[in-house]
Each structure stands twice: as structure tokens, then as C-alpha cells.
Structure 1
Amino acid sequence: MVNTHVCGNGLRIVSEKIPHFRSVAVGVFVNAGSRDELPEENGLTHFIEHMLFKGTETRSAKQIAREFDRIGGDMNAYTSKEYTCYYAKVLDHHAELAVTVLADMFFNSKMDPVEIDKERQVVLEEISMTEDMPDDDVHEQLWKVMYPHHSIGAPILGTVQTLQSFTKEKIEDFMERHYTPRNTVISIAGNITPELIRLIEKLFGTFNRTNRPKNYLLPDFTAGHSFKTKETEQGHLCLGYPGLSMQHPDIFNLAVLNNVIGGSMSSRLFQEIREERGLAYSIYSYHSAYSDHGALAIYGGTSNEQMPELQEVILDTLAAIKTNGLTREEIEDTKEQLKGNVILGLESTSSRMSRNGKNELLLQRHQPHEEIIELIEQVSAEKVQNLMSLLTENPAISIIQSKNASLT
């Protein structure tokens, strides 16, 4: 059972006790992601995520790492377009230490200008690494195409130009605006105790910063094109289509549609492109859902010479789905797969912690897994067919092609 406790300052603690587990997973979720950045701040949310690991008033970066290594724990963080998460997973008898260190990082990080300059170089290398991986870069380019005038399309890592402007003052100003009690959720799952919940409230439940309401502008999908050439062995293709928000009533119908298109090894695209034609090693689709919108994307990698055929087969496959719909067998098989994913996710404290944290932060509600199973069961061919309009005639397209070859 998921319990939510609201502290006096508005911060929420979401807990799920699982007494037969020996681990505890804890996450600090902040409702601030790359979408919340001004154009000149692009990449700042991700940069702050890095800086919280660079030392506090009482712990150096090395000491933070050693405290978790010596107890066999795992600690990390990630930044998304709508939120940032700092998390740890430890044995239950080390849970109080994990929470204490996370709180120290959250409140007492020094933001030393020397460390800022060093970490700036680290993130620049991270950007270079992404650009050297065309199967990642092609997705970044796709989001720029789909949302060219909205922060949701900007890269989470930022750019070389914006990174140069980050200072201690900019970091602290951003945190003052966004790292507020009402923007923060502590999610914890596993073999937890009442004492641990009280410690979390003691550490996180008293800080005060002005809570500012979010005024998100709805992003408009754009069916544009992006083309790059790089020194690669393969060409890389992404097609993007409008999707649904995470709160949309048809979200599970879209999950089934995506899975049949390219979300599994038995999907239409995998079977036709890889198994039947041998056109690509990697071919898949995915749906990214956010608080007020979403996007469906398809990726494939192949030789420059086969790129036109790959794109043609993808479009023909989508056209066949739009014309004929999905088979009853495809829908039933996919429903079983999705239900299996839900149940298997219950066997990990990390997945429960993550699910509860995101649900509380972005949805302010928690669906029992029985309710989710029932919603999946309600998926029907007719409901899926109603979503075919998302597969527009003019998708957003991103292509990275190998140099010294031409695309016909």
C-alpha cells in the first residue's frame, strides 16, 4: 500500500512498506527538468544534478562516493525533461545513512566555482560523447525538429554555448526558484520503518522556499526535417509523430499500438525489417509521455544504400496498420505482455520507488496495480483504431548519414 504524508512545508513523502524485502530504495524527486529552463539556461537542470555530487560542507565528492561504496549501496541521479531524481538503493539497515547523505547533498552542496569549472568540462565531454554516438544523436535531433520553438525540444545536456555561462549564482538562483518544498517528493520503498519516515521529515520537512506555480505552454508538434552527415559506418533514421499525455484516457491503448508497431521482438517493424528483410540490426519504436503531451518515435539504423528502403518499409507498415488495424491476436498478446511488465515491476524496490515518486510528482495519484491491469484489459481494437490519426502523413524526420555517401 502506498502512503503519502505531507509535511508542514508542503513537501510530500511517499512510502511503500515491503517487509519481506531486505533492501530500501529512496529517491528525491524535484519537479524541475529541462522543460523549465529559459533558453539561456538550457542544460542547467542537468548541470545542477552533477554538482550535487561534487561535495558538501562536510563531505567531499570522494567521501560521498565512498560512503555508498563501503555499504554496498548504489547511488545515482538523472535529469528528464520534466523532473530530476537523486536516488539510492541500500540494505535496509543502511537506509538512514542513505537518506542522511542525500539530504546533505540536497541542502549543503558547496557549488565551489573551481568544481563548477571542472564539471563544466565533464559535461562538455558528455555532449561530445552523445554526438559521437549517432544512434543517440539522431533522437536529440528529432526532438529539435518536433518542437523547434519549445524548451521540450531542447537537449537535456544543454549546449557548448549555454554551459559556458553557468555560474554559482545562476545555479543557486535556479534552485531557489525550482527546488522548493511543493516541487519535491521523497519516495521510499522496501523494508522501511516509522523511524526512517520521521528522519526524512526531520531532514526535509522544514526548509522553506517560495513555491511558484508552473505555467507550461503546450508544445506544438512540427513535421520538419533534420539531416546531418557524420563519420559513421551506418545511417540512422528517426520518425516522429504526435503522442498522448501520461494522463490521457487512451494511454494504454497507445501503449498497445506502440508495442505492435515496434515495441517488441514480435512487433511488425522488427519482424518485417530485421527478420524478413535483414535491413537493420536495430529497429524499434517508443512513446514518450509527459504531463500534457507526448510523442511516438521510430528508430532504425542501416547502411546509406538501404536507407530509402528502410524508410519506405516503415511508412508502408504504418499505412497497413492505419488501413487494416491490428489483429485480435496482436492485441491480446500485447495486453498480456504489458500486464507481465506491471507485475514484474512489483518485484523491485527501485521500480516501486520510481513509479511512486513519478506518480506523486506529476499525477498526484497512485493507481493500484489491479486498476492498471483492468485498464489494460479494457484495450480494444476499436479504441486502438481511433488512435490511428496520430500516424500522420507528414512525420518529423531526423537522419544522420555516413559521410561520402549520398541518399537518393
Structure 2
Amino acid sequence: MIKVRRLDNGLCVVGEENSFVRSVAMGIWIKNGSVDEEGHNTGVSHFIEHMMFKGTKSRSARDIADEMSEVGGRINAFTGKEYMCYYAHTLDNHFDVALDVLSDMLLNSAIRDEDMEKEKGVIIEEINMYEDSPEEIVHDLIQEEAWKATPLGNNILGTKEIINGFTSEDIRAYMDQHYIPENIVVSVVGKFDFDDIFEKINSKFSVLQDKKAVPRKSKTEYQRCFVTKDKDIEQVHLCMAFPSIAYESDKIYVLSILNTILGGGINSRLFQSIREEKGLAYSIYSYAETYNIAGMLNVYAAANPVQIEPVIEATLKEIKQLLDEGIQEKELNKIKEQLKSNLIIGFENMNSRMSSYGKSMLMLNRIKTQDEMIEGVNAVDVNGLMTFAKEVFDFDNMSVALVGRLKDIHIERIREICKI
């Protein structure tokens, strides 16, 4: 059974006891990401994530790594657009070590100037590495342009110029505003006693003062765009995007099924048609991005420059064919079983359960259970799916991004094909 309880300061603890395993997965979820940043501090959330591992008042960066390694535990973190998570996975008898290390990192981080200067170099190298990954660039490029001048358009890594300007005072001031109980969910799944771990978490995090969270900006004006980036690489990387729904929408399961049918796997229409039958591209897939206030359904492909126009034409043809001919009950049922199978198998992993509960509580203030998700998938019917597909696939609202050697492709011809 999933249990939810709050500390006196408002911090939320979510726990699910599982006696059939011998480990515990814990994540500290914080409602903070690039959407909470302004132009002058873009990238600060990701920078803070790095600094949390650089040492505390009583532990060095090496101590953090060594203490977790000594008990065979894993520790890591990530930063997204709307939230970030610091997480650990240990054997059940080493939970106290994981909690002590993670809480120390978040509550007592040293944030030394000398460590900041070193980490600026590390993050700049991360930005350089990102620049060598055109697949990542094309995804970010379309988001930055389609949500230009709105919070969702912020780049998670920031820029080299902004990163170099951060001071320890900037970091502490930002954390003081955002690392507050109202913005934190601690999610724990595995072998433990909930009352016991709740008291342990309370003993660590009760020192946090109950503060009012900074209101999150909700502006997300989608702007249709056609954006290119010249890069001296062999392939052209393509992203085609359609504005879609938010994470909390009741159509989230319809979106998941539509995405799976279109390009969500090796049996999807795009993969089978464009790669297997036509041989136009090695990599092609679709993916849905859902945030608290907006979303996108995207198609990605990478192909030889001479093939990029046929890839775009074939993709548009597949989407139009889906809209014109519809989806058969047999195909829908097959996709439902596929999604339910992935969901059930995924939930057998303690980290997956921890992540699902933490994100759900943080973003929706309630838990989406496995049974609820399965019921949501089962409830999708052909009529509802086709109505939704016609709403999403509005070609007058489609955006396009291209990364590659621009001299090798006919930009105006592509604009003409996409009518943009």
C-alpha cells in the first residue's frame, strides 16, 4: 500500500513497503527546473545539481562517493525543465547511509568558490559535448524556438557566458527560494517500515523552514517555427513538432497510444514504412513530451541529406493516412497490450516505482497508481483516439527543425513541402 504523510513543515513523504525485495530506492524530488529560471540565471538549477556532489561541511566529494560505494549503493541526480531529483538505491540495511548522505548534500552543501570554478569548467565541457550531439541539439532547438520567450524555452544547461558568471551567493540565494518544504517530495520504495523511515526523514529535514513557494510562471505561448542550425556532419537531423497536451490532461493515455502507433517502437507505422520498407533512414521515431502546462508530440529522423526530403514527405503521408483511414480495433488492442505490458514490467523495478510516485505527487499532488494507469489505457476507444489525432495533427501548427550541412539540403523546397 502507498502511504503519504507530511512533516510539520509541509515536506511530503511517499512510501511503499515491498517485503519481497531486499533493497530500497529513495528519491528527493524538487519542484524546480529550467522553467523557474530567468534569462540572467538560465542553467542555475543544473549547476546546483552538480554542486551538491562537490562536498558538504563535513564530507568531501570523495567522501560522498566512497561512503556509497562502501555499502554497494548507487547515487545520482538529474535536472529537467520542471523538476529535479537526487536519488539513491541501496540494500535495505544500508538505507540510513543513503539518507544521511543525500540529506547532508541538500542541507549542508559547502558551495565553495574554488569548487565552483572547477565545476564551471566541467559544465562547459558538458555543453561542448552536447554541441557534438546533433540529435540532442535538434530536439532542444525546436523547443527553444516554439516556446521562445516563455519558461519552457529555457535551455537546461544554460550558456557558457551565464555559467561563468555564477557566484556562490547566487547559488545560495536561489536554493533558499526553491529548496523549500513545499517544493519537496521524498519518495521511498522497497523493504522498510514506513513509520520508521518517516521518523528518520523527519529527523533530517525538519530543520527546513516552512516558506511560501515562488509562484511558477504559466506562460507557454506556442509559436510555429522553422529553424535550422548549420553543422558539419554527415547526416541531417530532423524534428517535426505538434503542440499537444499537458501532463495532467485526462487525454494522457490517448496521447501515449497515438505516439506508440505512429513512431513509438519497431512495430510503429513510421519505423516500418520509412526504415524497413523504404530504407530512407536508419533512425526514426516519435515521442511525446508532457509538462505541467503544455506538451508536444514530436517526430525525429536522421538521414543522408539527399534522403531528407523523401523522409519528410513519407512522414507527412503516414500521418495523413492515419487521419484519413483511421485505426482498426485490432491495432488499438495490440498497442494497449503493449503499453500495459511495458507498464507492468516497468513497475517491477523499485527505481521506476519510486520515480512514478515522486513525480506524480510533486506535479499532481496525488499518486497515479499502476491500476489507474492500466484503467486509463483500457478506456481509450477508436473514436476518442481519432478525434484526438485530428486535434493534434494540425499541419498549420507544425514546427520543423533541421541540423546538418545546410548547403547540402534545399531549405526552400523543404519549406514548401511542410507549407511553412
Q: Same fold (TM over 0.5)?
A: yes
Question: Matches of 2:225 and 2:369 in 1, distance apart?
Answer: 40
- Describe the SS at the equivalent of 1:207: coil
Q: Tell me the residue number matched to 2:395.
A: 393
| Contact residue 74 and residue 89 of structure 2 kept, 8 A | yes
| Contact residue 18 and residue 189 of structure 2 kept, 8 A | yes
| Contact residue 262 and residue 285 of structure 1 kept, 8 A | yes
Q: Tell me the residue number matched to 2:200.
A: 199
The answer to whether residue 41 in structure 2 is matched with residue 38 in structure 1 is: no
Q: Tell me the residue number matched to 2:59.
A: 59
**TM-fit CA distance, 1:320:** 1.2
| Contact residue 49 and residue 78 of structure 1 kept, 8 A | yes
Q: Tell me the residue number matched to 2:277.
A: 276
Q: Which amino acid aligns with 1:296?
A: L
Q: Tell me the residue number matched to 2:325.
A: 324
**TM-fit CA distance, 1:50:** 0.5
Q: After superposition, what is the alpha-carbon deviation per residue over 1:117-164, rounded to whole angstroms, capped at 9, x for unaligned?
A: 111111111111111010111111111121111121121111112112
Q: After superposition, what is the alpha-carbon deviation per residue over 1:12-37, rounded to whole angstroms, capped at 9, x for unaligned?
A: 01001001111100000010010000
Provide the aligned length of Structure 1 versus Structure 2: 408
| Contact residue 218 and residue 293 of structure 1 kept, 8 A | no
Q: Tell me the residue number matched to 2:116.
A: 116
| Pairwise CA RMSD | 1.2
**TM-fit CA distance, 1:207:** 1.3
Question: Matches of 2:105 and 2:254 in 1, distance apart?
Answer: 41
Question: Matches of 2:75 and 2:179 in 1, distance apart?
Answer: 20
Q: Tell me the residue number matched to 1:242.
A: 243
- Describe the SS at the equivalent of 1:313: helix
| Contact residue 237 and residue 400 of structure 1 kept, 8 A | yes
| Contact residue 26 and residue 188 of structure 2 kept, 8 A | yes
Q: Tell me the residue number matched to 1:223.
A: 224
Question: Matches of 1:361 and 1:367 in 2, distance apart?
Answer: 11
Question: Matches of 1:341 and 1:19 in 2, distance apart?
Answer: 23
Q: Which amino acid aligns with 2:243?
A: P
Question: Matches of 1:210 and 1:297 in 2, distance apart?
Answer: 38
Q: Tell me the residue number matched to 1:307.
A: 308
Q: Tell me the residue number matched to 2:417.
A: none
Question: Matches of 1:69 and 1:164 in 2, distance apart?
Answer: 32
Q: Which amino acid aligns with 1:22?
A: R
- Describe the SS at the equivalent of 1:285: strand
Q: Tell me the residue number matched to 1:88.
A: 88
- Describe the SS at the equivalent of 1:156: coil
| Contact residue 269 and residue 283 of structure 1 kept, 8 A | yes
- Which portions of structure 1, spanning 4 or more consecutive aligned residues, are displaced by more than 6 angstroms? none
Q: Tell me the residue number matched to 2:105.
A: 105
Q: After superposition, what is the alpha-carbon deviation per residue over 1:303-357, rounded to whole angstroms, capped at 9, x for unaligned?
A: 0110111111111111111222222222111111111122112211101111110
- Describe the SS at the equivalent of 1:19: coil
So what's the TM-score if we normalise by structure 2?
0.95
| Superposition pairs of residues 2-401 of structure 1, within 5 angstroms | 2-193=2-193, 194-387=195-388, 388-394=390-396, 395-401=398-404
- Describe the SS at the equivalent of 1:20: coil
Question: Matches of 2:344 and 2:90 in 1, distance apart?
Answer: 22
Q: Which amino acid aligns with 1:396?
A: S
Question: Matches of 1:345 and 1:214 in 2, distance apart?
Answer: 34
Q: After superposition, what is the alpha-carbon deviation per residue over 1:158-202, rounded to whole angstroms, capped at 9, x for unaligned?
A: 111211221111111111111111100100000012332211111
Question: Matches of 2:362 and 2:27 in 1, distance apart?
Answer: 12
Q: Which amino acid aligns with 1:27?
A: G
- Describe the SS at the equivalent of 1:123: helix
Question: Matches of 2:114 and 2:342 in 1, distance apart?
Answer: 45
Structure 1: stretches of 5+ with no match in the other structure: none
| Contact residue 8 and residue 206 of structure 1 kept, 8 A | no
Question: Matches of 1:126 and 1:246 in 2, distance apart?
Answer: 29
Structure 2: stretches of 5+ with no match in the other structure: 414-420
Q: Which amino acid aligns with 1:339?
A: K
Q: After superposition, what is the alpha-carbon deviation per residue over 1:328-387, rounded to whole angstroms, capped at 9, x for unaligned?
A: 222111111111122112211101111110011001111332222111111011111111
Q: Which amino acid aligns with 1:314?
A: T
| Contact residue 243 and residue 295 of structure 2 kept, 8 A | yes
Q: Which amino acid aligns with 2:42?
A: N
Q: After superposition, what is the alpha-carbon deviation per residue over 1:281-310, rounded to whole angstroms, capped at 9, x for unaligned?
A: 111111111112111111000001101111
Q: Which amino acid aligns with 1:64?
A: I
Q: Which amino acid aligns with 1:44?
A: V
Question: Matches of 1:205 and 1:326 in 2, distance apart?
Answer: 53
- Describe the SS at the equivalent of 1:244: coil
| Contact residue 145 and residue 396 of structure 1 kept, 8 A | no
So what's the TM-score if we normalise by structure 1?
0.98
